[in-house]
Amino acid sequence: MVGIFRSPAAEEKLAILSRDSQYDLACACATRENEHRRRSQEDKWIYPVILPNGGRTFLFKTLLSNECVNNCKYCPLRAGADARRCSLSPEELTRTFLSYYHARKVSGLFLSSAVSKDPDTTMEHINRVALQLRKTQFKGYIHLKIIPGASDAAIRQSLSLATAVSLNIETAGEANFKYLSTTKNYQRDILRPIQLISKLTAKGSDYSGIKQTTQFVVGASTETDKEILGYSWKLYKQLRLSRVYFSAYQRGAGAPELPGENSKAANKDLLVREHRLYQADWLIRKYGFQAGEIPLNPAGNLSLTADPKEMWAKEHPEFFPVNLNTDDPQRVLRVPGLGQVMVDRIMAFREAGVRIRSLADLGKLTKLLKKAEPHLTF
């Protein structure tokens, strides 16, 4: 018996491609309920993004194609995988995005694609969407995915059109990468273009206002959290990336020969590991921790049972107690249970000449705030 499958129309293709774009998180990460992605009435992903000024915008996020020649073994869309394949033309996607934009449903675009033929052909299609949008006088947010192996010329064109770009680093180091792909070269196709983008977006360069992000796939290979954090530190400090994202590999989605498929870690543990990496990343980016200060177990991984700030406090009893009325704000930030908002409130009390006599003076004693109590003096 022969089955006949019709070609999906543009709207149906967009529903498939926007769903498949969920595997790339390098544009937004939810920390509060109202920051989570959501589906539109048309069954497409709409991603919230927090802007530098504290405002919020919604990105229209999709793939241009899910037809891929690469065999990234962690990816459900890899070559040879059982997936419903389709592509949109740059013109179809441009028209659809503009209809959403003019209806005020979204204010920006995150555009990625599988590698449907070769890196530069795919980049030409991605860049053509951005070019068409800029020609319509669209001045809003455009995040473009840089395809591994793209030429320098294609990367430069993306930077001339985008607000932000990202190329996923995928894992920490070539030794771990060898398990993930045989069609890409880690040094040539991933690290070198990330370094080039950093150079082209450096202060004083032609593209100095363009942001660069990346993403690790966590748990598909043999990498440790120590390796991931070490690479993240270099990406922030040496290459000045705006954000590093982490995506837990979901066992069963990839090829069975991956090390992650044979791991004893359940999917829920991989999600906790992802969460701990975000917490450690926050300590580095916001709280002044050095990568080498993040507490790890003998295997080089973060604790799955306690957050890294709590673990650091347990390992450094000599640092405590911290005096809420006199100590430097950077010391106060190292107290478990106290975040930036609470520390700002404490500093406001000081500026007003109000002496803090107990945690109750700061507001309701939440479960999180109670974590701070053993580490404080007044």
Output the tens digit of pLDDT for each of the chain's 378 residues. Answer: 333 334 457 778 777 777 767 666 544 434 344 444 454 454 444 556 655 445 566 788 889 999 999 989 998 888 888 888 889 999 999 999 999 899 888 889 999 999 988 999 999 999 999 999 999 999 999 999 999 999 999 999 999 999 999 999 999 999 999 999 999 999 999 999 999 999 999 999 999 999 999 999 999 999 999 999 999 999 999 999 999 999 999 888 888 888 988 888 888 999 999 999 999 999 999 999 999 999 999 999 999 999 999 999 999 999 999 999 999 999 999 999 999 999 999 999 999 999 999 988 988 888 888 899 999 999
Q: What is the dihedral of CA 273, 278, 281, 287, to 10 degrees?
A: -120
Q: Which two tokens stand for residue 345?
A: 């409130």
CA distances (Å), 232 to each of 10, 152, 239, 281, in order? Answer: 39, 24, 10, 8
SS3 16: helix
350 CB neighbour count, 10 Å cutoff: 14
Instruction: Please state, in angstroms and rounded to a whole number, the distance separating the CA atoms of residues 42 and 45.
Output: 9
What is the Cα–Cα distance from 332 to 338, expressed in whole angstroms? 8
- Say whether domain 10-302 belongs to CATH 3.20.20.70: yes
Order of strands, edge to edge, in the sheet holding 164-166? 38-39, 45-50, 56-63, 108-112, 141-145, 164-166, 211-218, 243-248
Backbone angles phi, psi at 77, to 5 degrees: -100, 10
Nearest to 28 by CA among 53, 58, 67, 8: 58
Q: Which CATH number fits domain 316-377: 1.10.150, 3.40.50, 2.30.30, 2.40.10?
A: 1.10.150
- Specify whether the backbone of 32 is left (phi greater than 0), alpha (psi in -120 to 50) or beta: beta
Domains of the chain, residue spans: 10-302, 316-377
Count Cβ atoms within 10 A of the Cβ of residue 282 and give its class: 0-12 exposed, 13-18 middle, 19 or more buried: middle
From the list 116, 106, 2, the residue with the least C-alpha distance to 63 is 116
pLDDT score for 8: 58
* Rounded CA separation 219/77 (Å): 18
First and final C-alpha spacing in the chain: 80
Contacts 24+ apart (CB under 8 A), 4-12: 7/86, 8/86, 10/88, 10/92, 10/96, 11/42, 11/96
Q: Name the phi and psi angles at 215, rounded to 5.
A: -145, 140
64 neighbors 17 (Cβ within 8 angstroms): yes
Which residues are bridge partners to 246 per DSSP? 216
Structure confidence at residue 10 (pLDDT): 72
The single-letter code of the amino acid at 7 is S
